[in-house]
A = this chain, B = another copy of it.
């Protein structure tokens, strides 16, 4: 039997799937043991408690992606420079040494990627696997892949290689404005905001024809002040302004294909906004992560097999 334990170990969560030979999900587990909640010396322990039983079955390998490979993670897997294809990620897999876990475990961490645009370095970690998964699922060699979130990553793939990418601090800026700014004073103090579709769409359109979020954001307060928007819709207005700002700078053309990969609550909003820009959207969830890790595992197996 040959099985792959695919793990996405990020800052705040740990998610994993056990895959069979064909990449089909046999079982899944997740935990709140994100990187920020684990002592640097405790990764092996958490790993064993979460996955020891799965790894004890002979023929089970493990590939991990995400912040677990950062300097503050379990073992640092250095960034691969763009342009980078699947062979580069396979070539720089970082083996977790036996003494850091149980001897004999076959565990490796996928490196992140770096690129330089306009003399400024940028980095990502974890999104490279989503990108590889999307390519595999779509069966394409070129794509624009967007992984929205705290830090959105826009990945441009050409001829099967990650050519370049850009980071937008959209989710983090949204969260700060939503919870910590003067705008929060007009909004209900709840953590999950229901989407007011028309208000969101209108805000996206405004952002698309505006110049900067610095200029548009205050409208959330003034429109509340003048009774133009009910308190419960203000977060949707802000969300539309922030996501619209991100999309404005991507200069999306009518019919441009964008592969969107992330959690449903977020991809729903991005898909909506992207379609307002005229984009053709395909949406993927965590299956892209499992597929990306599975693709890396297959490529590694072929390499070991003599490059045939």
Contact = CB atoms under 8 A, between A and B. Distances in A.
Given A173-B173, A211-B249, A214-B173, A219 B180 contact: no
A164 interface: no
A214 B246 CA distance: 7
A222 B167 CA distance: 10
Counted per complex, copies of this chain come to 2
B120 A214 contact: no
A168 B211 CA distance: 11
A225 interface: yes
A225 B173 contact: no
A223 B223 CA distance: 38
B215 A212 contact: no
A245 interface: yes
Interface string A165-193: 01111101100110011100000000000
Interface in A177-229: 177, 180-182, 206, 211-215, 217-219, 222-223, 225-226, 228
Contacts of A177: 173, 176
B122 A222 contact: yes
A123 interface: yes
A248 interface: yes
Interface of A: 118, 120-123, 150-151, 166-170, 172-173, 176-177, 180-182, 206, 211-215, 217-219, 222-223, 225-226, 228, 242, 245-246, 248-249
